[in-house]
Chain A
Amino acid sequence: MVKVFQAADATDLVTELRRSFDDGVTRGYEWRVTQLKKLLLICDNHEPEIVSALHDDLGKPELESSVYEVALLRNSINLAVKQLKDWMAPDKAKTSLTTFPASAEIVYEPLGVVLVISAWNYPFLLSIDPVIGAISAGNAVVLKPSELAPASSSLLAKLLEQYLDSSAVRVVEGAVTETTLLLEQKWDKIFYTGSSRIGRIIMMAAAKHLTPVVLELGGKSPVVIDSDTNLKITAKRIIAGKWGCNNGQACISPDYILTTKEFSPKVIDALKQELEAFYGKNPMESKDMSRIVNSNHFDRLSKMLEEKEVSDKIVYGGQKNRDKLKIAPTILVDVPLDSQIMSEEIFGPLLPIITLNNLEECFDVIRSRPKPLAAYLFTQNQKLKERFALTVSAGGIVVNDIAVHLAVPTLPFGGVGESGMGSYHGKFSFDAFSHKKAVLYKSFIGDAAIRYPPYSTGKLRLLKALVNSNILEIFRVILGLS
Chain B
Amino acid sequence: MEEVVDQSLREMRDTFASGRTRSVKWRKTQLEAIIEMVKDNEDKMCDVLFQDLGKHSTEAFRDELGFVMRSATTALNCLDKWVVPKKSNLPLLFYPSTGKVISEPYGTVLVLSSWNFPISLSLDPLIGAISAGNTVLLKASELSPNASAFLAKTIPSYLDNKAIKVIEGGPDVATILLKHQWDKIFFTGSPRIGKIIMAAAAEHLTPVTLELGGKCPTIVDHHSVSKDMKSVVKRISGGKWGSCSGQACISVDYVLVEKSFASSLIEMLKPMIRSFFGENPKESGCLSRIVNKKHFQRLARLLNDPGVQASIVYGGSMDEEKLYIEPTILLDPPLDSEIMNEEIFGPILPIITLRDIQESIGFIKSKPKPLAIYAFTKDENLKTRILSETSSGSVTFNDVMIQYMCDALPFGGVGESGIGRYHGKYSFECFSHEKAIMEGSLAMDLEARYPPWNSFKLTFLRLAFREAYFKLVLFMLGLKK
Contacts and interface: CB of A to CB of B under 8 A. Distances in A.
Contact of B205 (A207, A412, A417): A417
A412 B436 contact: yes
Given A441-B398, A451-B242, A397 B276 contact: no
Interface residues of B, number: 108
B438 A396 contact: yes
A32 interface: no
A340 interface: no
B14 interface: no
B429 to A, nearest CB: 11
A203 to B, nearest CB: 4
Interface string A443-482: 1100100111111110110011011000000000000000
B56 interface: yes
B238 A63 contact: no
B422 to A, nearest CB: 12
A402 to B, nearest CB: 9
B398 A442 contact: yes
Interface in B52-102: 56-59, 61-62, 66, 69-70, 88-91, 93-94, 97, 99, 101-102
Interface in B240-280: 241-242, 275-278
A454 B66 contact: no
B414 A66 contact: no
Contact of A421 (B207, B241, B439): B207
B202 A207 contact: yes
Contacts of A289: 451
B183 interface: yes
A398 interface: yes
Interface stretch (A152-160, A162-170, A210-218): A210-218
A416 interface: yes
Nearest to A397: B437
Contact of B465 (A72, A280, A435): A72
B202 to A, nearest CB: 4
A420 B207 CA distance: 9
Contacts of B94: 404, 407-408
Contacts of B183: 417
Given A208-B195, A439-B394, A451-B242, A459 B58 contact: yes
Contacts of B453: 61-63, 288
B414 A435 contact: yes
A200 B421 CA distance: 22
A411 B394 contact: no
B457 interface: yes
Contacts of B56: 453, 455
A175 interface: no
A463 B406 contact: no
Contact of B458 (A66, A111, A385, A409): A66
A214 to B, nearest CB: 10
A109 B452 contact: no
Most B CB within 10 A of own CB, among A230, A279, A452: A452
B99 A452 contact: no
Contacts of A394: 435
Nearest to B106: A416
Given A200-B205, A440-B396, A456-B58, A408 B441 contact: no
A408 B435 contact: no
B99 A463 contact: no
A96 interface: yes
Most B CB within 10 A of own CB, among A234, A367, A393: A393
Given A98-B405, A207-B199, A288-B453, A438 B458 contact: no
Interface string B225-236: 100100100110
Contacts of B212: 210
Nearest to A422: B207
Contacts of A129: none
A455 B58 contact: yes
Nearest to A444: B228
B461 A67 contact: yes
B59 A455 contact: yes
Nearest to B418: A210
Given A99-B406, A453-B287, A454-B276, A464 B66 contact: yes
Contacts of B450: 236, 239-240, 244, 278
A179 to B, nearest CB: 16
B205 A393 contact: no
A80 B93 CA distance: 18
Given A212-B419, A459-B58, A109 B391 contact: yes
A239 B449 CA distance: 11
B221 interface: no
A459 B62 CA distance: 10
B205 A464 contact: no
11 contacts: A66-B461, A96-B407, A96-B408, A111-B414, A240-B449, A397-B435, A400-B439, A410-B88, A410-B99, A439-B387, A442-B399
Closest 3 CB pairs of A and B: A401-B440, A455-B58, A203-B202
Given A96-B407, A380-B442, A460-B57, 20 more contacts: A66-B462, A71-B466, A72-B465, A93-B408, A106-B410, A200-B205, A204-B202, A210-B195, A210-B210, A279-B452, A395-B436, A404-B440, A412-B101, A437-B391, A438-B406, A440-B409, A444-B231, A455-B59, A463-B61, A467-B70
